C-alpha cells in the first residue's frame, strides 16, 4: 500500500489527507499543534467575488472553481462524520457596502471585475441593503449583494477533518513537527524519501506533502512571507442577536472590514500587516472596531470574547504554491488570504500530484462518499496547475536535505 506523509495539519494538510485516503493511500499526518495556525484564526469567508482584487487575475479561476467545490467537499465529510449540518456553512450571500461615496465608487470598480469574471453581482441602495440587514447604519452609501459568496466555520471544519482522520483505519496523526526532509541526491537530482520528526524519529514515505503553511519557508526554501492578521470574536447579548444574518463586508475610508455571523456573535476582521509583530496589535483592534461601528453601530453592544493574530502564508503574487518539487515531494502552501476557500481545490490538485494521475471519478471508498472531489466542468486543470507552479518565480526553490 503506498504511504504518504503529510507535514502540517492546517486546513490544507487535513483536506489533502482526506482526499488521499479514498484513493487507497496510507496517510501519516505530522503536526505538533494541529489546526492551530492561520486556519485557527480564519473567518471562513468563501468569497470568490468579494476577494477579487485588481491585478490578481490568476487567482480568480482558482477561487471560483474551489468555491463551487465546497458543497461536495462538505457533503463528503458529512458522510463520514454525520455532522455536516454543523460545519457552519451558510449560503445566503454577502453584502459589500461603502461607508461614503468614495468607498462606494471604489466598490463599483471591483464590481466590474466581478461581473467580467462571470459572477453575479446585484447593486443595491442603502434602503435595499437595510431591508436585508436592518442593523446596517442608515449613513452607509449603498453597495452590492454577492449571492454566491458564502461562509463556513473553519474551526468546526478542521475539527471534523481531524475526527475523520483519527477514525480512518489507514490514517495516523503524529503530534510532532517535521524538522527536515530526508532524501538522496544523485546526478539525476534530488529525491525525497521521508521526514525527520522533532523527536529524531525518521519516517520513510513513498511521497511527502509539505503543507506546513508559513513553516514551509524553512523546510523547503519556498518564497513565503508572513502577512499578519488580527481578528476579533464578539459575543452579542440575546437582545441584540442576531445582529446580522449574512456576511457584511465594507470599505470605510478605503479600509476594508468584515463581520461574519457565527453562533451567538460575530467574527470581525481582519487586519493585514507585514510588520514583525506576531501578537495582537492594539492599533488593529482599534481600527477594526472603529470601522465596524461606522457600518454596524450595534457591534459595540457586545462582549469581546477573543482577539487572535496569526500569520497568513503569503507569496509574492498572493497565489498558492502547489507543485511537485522532486519525485518524492509535493508542496502545497502559500494560500495567503484564501486558504479556507481554496482548500477543496488545493486538496484535489495536491492529491492528483501525489497519486500521479487522477483515478476514475466515480468510485467509492469505505462509507466515505465519492472518492474524488469533483472539479467543475469549466475548470481547466492544466491552467490551474500552471498558475500555482512553485517555480514560477525567478528564484529557484530547493529542498533542504538532511544527510
Ligand X SMILES: Cc1cc2nc3c(=O)[nH]c(=O)nc-3n(C[C@H](O)[C@H](O)[C@H](O)COP(=O)(O)OP(=O)(O)OC[C@H]3O[C@@H](n4cnc5c(N)ncnc54)[C@H](O)[C@@H]3O)c2cc1C
User: What is the binding site for ligand X (CB under 6 A)?
Assistant: 7-13, 30-39, 41-45, 177-178, 211-213, 215, 229, 231, 269-270, 310, 312-313, 333, 335-341
Nearest Cα neighbor of 107 from 228, 281, 269, 256 is 256
CB of 375 to ligand X, least distance (A): 18
Measured distance CA(328)–CA(353) in Å, rounded: 10
* Side-chain half-sphere exposure of 355, counting CA atoms within 13 A: 22
Helix (H) or strand (E) holding 70: helix 59-81
Would you give the distance in Å from CA 365 to the centre of its chain? 26
CB of 312 to ligand X, least distance (A): 5
CB of 396 to ligand X, least distance (A): 22
CB of 126 to ligand X, least distance (A): 25
Measured distance CA(123)–CA(176) in Å, rounded: 50
Collapsing DSSP to helix, strand or coil, 136 comes out as coil
Is the CA virtual torsion 102, 106, 112, 114 positive or negative?
A: negative
> Which of residues 25 and 335 has its CB atom nearest to ligand X in the complex?
335
> Which of residues 91 and 130 has its CB atom nearest to ligand X in the complex?
91
> Which of residues 259 and 375 has its CB atom nearest to ligand X in the complex?
259
Collapsing DSSP to helix, strand or coil, 401 comes out as strand
Residues in Cβ contact with 144 at an 8 Å cutoff, skipping those fewer than 6 apart: 95, 96, 107, 111, 121, 122, 123, 124
Torsion of CA 209, 212, 213, 218, to 10 degrees: -100
Contact present, 208 and 16 (Cβ < 8 Å): no
Residue 255: strand pairing partners:
252
CB of 239 to ligand X, least distance (A): 28
> Which of residues 44 and 98 has its CB atom nearest to ligand X in the complex?
44
CB of 307 to ligand X, least distance (A): 11
> Which of residues 161 and 299 has its CB atom nearest to ligand X in the complex?
161
> Which of residues 36 and 402 has its CB atom nearest to ligand X in the complex?
36
CB of 8 to ligand X, least distance (A): 3
> Which of residues 182 and 333 has its CB atom nearest to ligand X in the complex?
333
CB of 321 to ligand X, least distance (A): 10
> Which of residues 203 and 375 has its CB atom nearest to ligand X in the complex?
203
Collapsing DSSP to helix, strand or coil, 231 comes out as strand
Nearest Cα neighbor of 351 from 111, 56, 21 is 21
Amino acid at each position: 500500500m503506498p504511504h504518504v506523509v503529510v507535514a502540517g495539519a492546517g486546513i490544507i494538510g487535513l483536506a489533502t489527507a482526506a482526499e488521499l485516503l479514498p484513493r487507497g493511500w496510507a496517510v501519516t499526518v505530522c503536526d505538533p499543534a494541529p489546526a492551530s495556525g492561520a486556519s485557527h484564526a480564519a473567518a471562513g469567508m468563501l468569497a470568490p467575488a468579494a476577494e477579487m482584487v485588481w491585478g490578481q487575475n490568476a487567482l480568480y479561476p482558482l477561487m471560483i472553481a474551489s468555491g463551487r467545490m465546497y458543497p461536495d467537499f462538505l457533503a463528503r465529510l458529512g458522510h463520514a462524520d454525520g455532522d455536516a449540518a454543523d460545519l457552519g456553512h451558510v449560503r445566503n450571500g454577502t453584502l459589500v457596502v461603502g461607508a461614503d461615496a468614495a468607498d462606494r465608487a471604489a466598490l463599483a470598480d471591483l464590481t466590474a471585475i466581478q461581473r467580467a469574471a462571470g459572477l453575479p453581482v446585484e447593486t443595491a441602495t442603502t434602503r435595499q441593503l437595510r431591508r436585508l440587514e436592518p442593523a446596517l447604519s442608515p449613513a452607509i452609501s449603498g453597495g452590492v449583494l454577492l449571492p454566491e459568496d458564502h461562509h463556513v466555520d473553519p474551526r468546526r471544519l478542521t475539527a471534523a477533518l481531524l475526527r475523520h482522520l483519527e477514525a480512518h483505519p489507514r490514517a495516523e496523526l503524529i503530534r510532532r513537527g517535521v524538522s527536515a526532509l530526508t532524501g538522496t541526491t544523485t546526478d539525476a537530482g534530488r529525491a525525497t524519501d521521508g521526514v525527520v520528526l522533532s523527536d529524531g524519529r525518521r519516517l520513510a514515505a513513498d511521497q511527502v506533502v509539505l503543507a506546513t503553511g508559513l513553516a514551509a519557508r524553512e523546510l523547503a526554501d519556498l518564497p513565503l512571507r508572513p502577512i499578519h492578521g488580527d481578528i476579533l470574536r464578539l459575543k452579542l447579548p440575546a437582545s441584540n442577536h442576531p445582529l446580522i444574518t449574512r456576511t457584511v463586508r465594507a470599505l470605510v475610508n478605503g479600509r476594508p472590514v468584515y463581520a461574519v455571523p457565527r453562533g451567538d456573535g460575530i467574527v470581525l476582521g481582519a487586519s493585514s500587516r507585514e510588520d514583525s509583530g506576531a501578537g495582537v496589535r492594539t492599533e488593529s483592534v482599534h481600527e477594526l472596531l472603529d470601522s465596524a461601528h461606522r457600518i454596524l453601530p450595534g457591534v459595540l453592544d457586545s462582549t469581546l470574547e477573543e482577539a487572535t493574530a496569526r500569520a497568513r502564508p503569503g507569496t509574492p503574487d498572493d497565489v498558492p504554491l502547489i507543485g511537485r518539487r522532486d519525485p518524492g515531494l509535493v508542496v502545497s502552501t502559500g494560500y495567503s488570504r484564501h486558504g479556507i476557500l481554496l482548500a477543496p481545490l488545493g486538496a484535489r490538485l495536491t492529491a492528483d500530484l501525489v497519486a500521479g494521475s487522477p483515478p476514475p471519478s466515480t468510485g467509492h471508498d469505505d462509507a466515505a462518499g465519492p472518492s474524488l472531489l469533483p472539479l467543475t466542468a469549466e475548470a481547466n486543470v492544466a491552467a490551474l496547475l500552471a498558475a500555482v507552479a512553485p517555480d514560477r518565480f525567478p528564484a529557484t526553490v530547493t529542498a533542504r536535505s538532511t544527510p
